[in-house]
Amino acid sequence: MARYTRIEVATVMKNTGIVPLFFHSDYDIVKRVIKACYDGGARVFEFTNRGDYAIEVFSEVSKWLVAELPDMIIGVGSIVDAATASLYIQNGANFIVSPILNPEIGKTCNRRKIAWLPGCGTLTEINSAEELGAEIVKIFPASELGGADFIKNIKAPCPWTSIMASGGVVPEKDNLIKWFQAGAYCVGMGSKLIVKNGNRDYDYNKITDLTRKSIQIISDYKKNLI
């Protein structure tokens, strides 16, 4: 059962500005990546449902987080049906992210008051998602949909819409500021944040550093707006 309400999840996503996303079949690697992001200041993490036995990995990691990093909010991405969403919710998912707009997933999450971030590619889909109760919508792949200009153009007639951009976001100042200038609520980052070293092993120190710098860039930008 989720330990954080959908409002709490949305608030943390806004405050930190980034949502690291990652999948690996090795429990220990997932734990070390999450810890590296946590050490960099991340307080929300998206485990992507992209491999065989992913639910088993998630269940193990979810239990570990409760004991070791209780203030790290973990959710699941790449969910395309309500049954899979329910399975992850039963194993401790605090939010569900989908690359598509599936109303049945929305109903499942709303029934348990769990945050649901559906993938949308048009203003009509965004409007439908909001009618179904989505507090934040995901545009994916963000760069292919028109990048930051897409968000800017959506926010013009619908300033109340909260958008997470995922796909094409990199942990660099110019790129991050571009998304937030356009009105992004938060951004999702995968391989550009969860980087490897020259030996093709995950570079945990670098992940921590990139996470910290990204959060600081976003924080500084928001402070300058005040």
Strand, helix or coil at 89?
Answer: helix
pLDDT tens sequence across 104-159: 999 999 999 999 999 999 999 999 999 999 999 999 889 888 999 999 999 999 99
For residue 10, the 8-state DSSP code is H
pLDDT of 226 reads 64
Whole-prediction pTM: 0.96
Q: Which burial class, exposed, middle or buried, applies to 57 when counting CB atoms under 10 A from its CB (0-12, 13-18, 19+)?
A: buried
For residue 99 the two structure tokens come to 């690359």
The H or E element that residue 209 is part of is: helix 204-225
Which residues are paired to 203 by β-bridges?
Answer: none
Which residues are CB-neighbours of 63 under 8 A, at least 6 positions away? Answer: 92
Choice among 21-35, 135-149, 179-193 with the minimum mean pLDDT: 135-149
pLDDT tens sequence across 155-173: 999 999 999 999 999 999 9
Distance CA 51, CA 161 (A): 32
User: What domains can be seen in the chain, in order of their start residue?
Assistant: 6-225 (3.20.20.70)
Across all residues in the chain, what is the average pLDDT? Answer: 96
pLDDT of 202 reads 98
Prior bond to 141 cis, omega within 30?
A: yes
